[in-house]
Chain A
């Protein structure tokens, strides 16, 4: 990462082997590239060089003393010996010192079997200790629900400290004290609170920092690592799912320099803990009267088919609807839409958190990132719109952070004062209603002051009334002057009422600054959903569909198929979605978990496998199709979703449901997607800037640990500080104006829905706005995520 790209090559010799490496390379890198291992603890190729463990001492010709290979740049003609008597003597000496204070507790240490210290001591350690004095013992501190500490084992390599400073961007761990009293920790009792914190578990070369949920659960050599793809954001981090005796033991990152490098977000790392949650559905169930009865698959599937047929006969197929989680696999989405369309209905939707569908046109605007994930770090400027990127797509934030540290101007327009772990060039926190106005102001600068280009239809009329300030000007100038720029619409903007307008103006800004336009889409497979045709107005591969242009959830559905969806938690308008499902006469819920709400509204529960237990494909925002195999078989009677859908297709006697593997499903779709151009923007439609009636506006923030069924059930994640408490957040002035300033509990009212929640005064919330998070049990009785809201005592 910090290797300088210099053309000049130098000739060196390591252990007699002649090598040509770029000047400035460290000896350890040169040796690694030639496949020669030098022992090390503190050196890590993605972190800065610390050279404090001294394990990598090597013998270099003409140098009087052994030198650390990690901090010694190569020079022309250098001759390195990594195994000479001098080098080995130095390495053995360091090893002995490192082991002085290290406990001999390998049998009870979780790191045992994958421990750098253990491995290295096999090669360089003495077979007995010569140290008989007392060893240093440290008291452990609780640093949160994800990382277990055993600091007595720490060898002070400071990888975790450097990770915090350099990668996570918030320094939480540090080395306090000195000499023998030096210790790694947080000093005061406080939880490590980074969305990437789990990476220190991988970085720690000893058993000082280990995974808390995995603690004492198994040995590394018993686990079988299976390649897979993380299923919670549109980045598609590559992972190893480690399985033992058909049980997922843990999830580790799998290196892919084009996507997640060697990192993984905590959400992707620990969501597996939900797999054995108590409310897993392991048996098909049908509702009989008010009771639920566990049945076998044929009974459940026939019941489901009969139920749908009854509704089709009674009304017609257009009264069916299907809601699918945007994190479902490509195969599930494709087969579900094939089933629905085969029955004569286009009502299938994955954009559950979206409220504004007015930009749906025949030629869709695909939720693409607009550039490869790795390119994010090469941007010179980026404008984020409604993006809590650090929490929603931690890996993308990490890439942008790298760009920012290299001097890129990253800018943000958000409805909330989101935290960023890198410096922002410009930042606007505006109410959702003013977001469009801010974008219009940037357009105005670009159109009138910078390029004076021709305006698209209707724009000049709305720009006339827009006021421009310095921030708008700065944003426009930064984007315009950047060599590589991007405009990215974030996940949090997806629920806003003016999404179509935001898209239109963002597209215009991107176009007139030569920036790429993209989305940080919801779920792990939003782009896949579009490709698979899991939208009502477009079939697979962009096929044109005649459709009445009404949003699926706005229809009066008589039968509903849910695929890993909890409507009251997964939809932008929680209560409306819940009502649609509750009023439907027949509801099939294909789900990995069951809930009380599901039992109340569904008629059939079909247990399907979540991401780790099914094969499938996820398409990330950059358009990478990443397929994976199931890492274990689902528990009980649960089955992969694509198989269940295939059998449903067969039972309906529809053509083209004869697949033998999920690969066949994917390949069929792939053919249909060939040559498809994934345009990020639709045709221009001028937005209107009428901001509402000036009442209170709700900001329905989507918390990072509530995004899908699985994450919501991952207890360790729920125990972190990032799990947001359901409350009514607003600033003091707004609280005073609405007359609730002195209340502890306040009633939030949206139309006929209301909930009572604690009041939290938060000065970062824009005026006349109320932040009430979505996707939480406590707020699921409310209405639209963004929209008018009232508060009363």
Chain B
């Protein structure tokens, strides 16, 4: 009954204490009745906590934490492409194929990545180490072609530079 529905097993516990502290820092930036403004930051934080992707339970946990309807969190999570809804590899390589990078040879970079890793865009290596993702312009046209791994941009890519970077990954 009503009471049952209200307390359908809380998922708050899925958010780590460290993440909660960080989300709280974001919540504090907004007026108290607009906690939900922190939803984008909160999703990013719990995504980082969860090896780079968001599960439905985690989205529910964020909804509960920010006191908003779960569907409203799903809306945000599915709208933005940098939220991962499926599990990703340990390293997520976001390759730009937008106009500047394309003109400067991103096709060659993608082909090289495909040859070297045996996966296409949007796929993850079988060992779960690397995910390739096609992205739109990341605002680094000055050193096109480029890709992003974790928080690091890598520009002026050639197959050789790519190999060097991949060899350097753990």
Q: Is the CB of B69 within 8 A of A729?
A: no
Taking the complex as formed, is A664 at the interface, i.e. its CB lies under 8 A from any CB of chain B?
no
Q: Is the CB of A171 within 8 A of B2?
A: no
Q: Is the CB of A176 within 8 A of B2?
A: no
B residues in contact with A418, CB < 8 Å: 2
Kindly report which residue of chain B lies nearest to residue A390, judged by CB atoms.
B2
Q: Is the CB of B7 within 8 A of A174?
A: no
Q: Is the CB of B74 within 8 A of A187?
A: yes
- Which residue from B2, B4, B71 sits with its C-beta under 8 Å from A172? B71
Q: Is the CB of B75 within 8 A of A176?
A: yes
Alpha-carbon distance between A765 and B7 when the two chains are bound, in angstroms: 12
Q: Which of A724-773 contact B (CB under 8 A)?
A: 724-725, 729, 760, 762-765, 771, 773
Taking the complex as formed, is B16 at the interface, i.e. its CB lies under 8 A from any CB of chain A?
no
Q: Is the CB of A417 within 8 A of B79?
A: no
Known: A171-B72, A172-B69. 17 other contacts (CB 8 A): A174-B69, A174-B75, A175-B75, A176-B71, A176-B74, A178-B78, A186-B71, A188-B74, A416-B2, A416-B3, A419-B5, A724-B1, A725-B1, A729-B1, A762-B3, A763-B3, A773-B1
Taking the complex as formed, is B6 at the interface, i.e. its CB lies under 8 A from any CB of chain A?
yes
Taking the complex as formed, is B56 at the interface, i.e. its CB lies under 8 A from any CB of chain A?
yes
- Encode contact with A along B2-21: 1 for CB under 8 Å, 0 otherwise: 11111100000000000000
Q: Give 16 A-B contacts (CB < 8 Å), ordered by A residue.
A: A170-B69, A171-B71, A176-B71, A187-B74, A187-B78, A193-B5, A388-B2, A417-B6, A419-B6, A703-B1, A721-B5, A725-B1, A764-B2, A764-B6, A765-B3, A771-B1
B residues in contact with A765, CB < 8 Å: 3
Alpha-carbon distance between A721 and B7 when the two chains are bound, in angstroms: 15
Q: Which of A546-583 contact B (CB under 8 A)?
A: none
Minimal beta-carbon separation of A86 from chain B (angstroms): 33
Q: Is the CB of B71 within 8 A of A174?
A: yes
B residues in contact with A724, CB < 8 Å: 1
Q: Which of A165-182 contact B (CB under 8 A)?
A: 170-178
Minimal beta-carbon separation of A624 from chain B (angstroms): 29
Kindly report which residue of chain A lies nearest to residue B69, judged by CB atoms.
A171
- Which residue from B7, B70, B71, B74 sits with its C-beta under 8 Å from A764? B7
- Which residue from A703, A725, A764 sits with its C-beta under 8 Å from B3? A764
A interface residues, Cβ below 8 angstroms from B: 170-178, 186-188, 193, 388, 391, 416-419, 701, 703, 721, 724-725, 729, 760, 762-765, 771, 773
B interface residues, Cβ below 8 angstroms from A: 1-7, 56, 69-72, 74-75, 78-79
Q: Is the CB of B79 within 8 A of A178?
A: yes
B residues in contact with A188, CB < 8 Å: 56, 70, 74
Alpha-carbon distance between A701 and B1 when the two chains are bound, in angstroms: 10
Minimal beta-carbon separation of A451 from chain B (angstroms): 33
- Which residue from A177, A186, A729 sits with its C-beta under 8 Å from B78? A177
Alpha-carbon distance between A174 and B72 when the two chains are bound, in angstroms: 7
Minimal beta-carbon separation of A418 from chain B (angstroms): 5
B residues in contact with A174, CB < 8 Å: 69, 71-72, 74-75
Alpha-carbon distance between A653 and B123 when the two chains are bound, in angstroms: 88
Minimal beta-carbon separation of A773 from chain B (angstroms): 8
A residues in contact with B3, CB < 8 Å: 416-417, 729, 762-765
Q: Is the CB of B69 within 8 A of A762?
A: no
Alpha-carbon distance between A170 and B70 when the two chains are bound, in angstroms: 10
A residues in contact with B75, CB < 8 Å: 174-176
Alpha-carbon distance between A760 and B7 when the two chains are bound, in angstroms: 13
Minimal beta-carbon separation of A27 from chain B (angstroms): 29
- Which residue from A417, A725, A763 sits with its C-beta under 8 Å from B2? A417
B residues in contact with A725, CB < 8 Å: 1
Alpha-carbon distance between A388 and B78 when the two chains are bound, in angstroms: 36
Closest 3 CB pairs of A and B: A764-B3, A174-B71, A171-B69
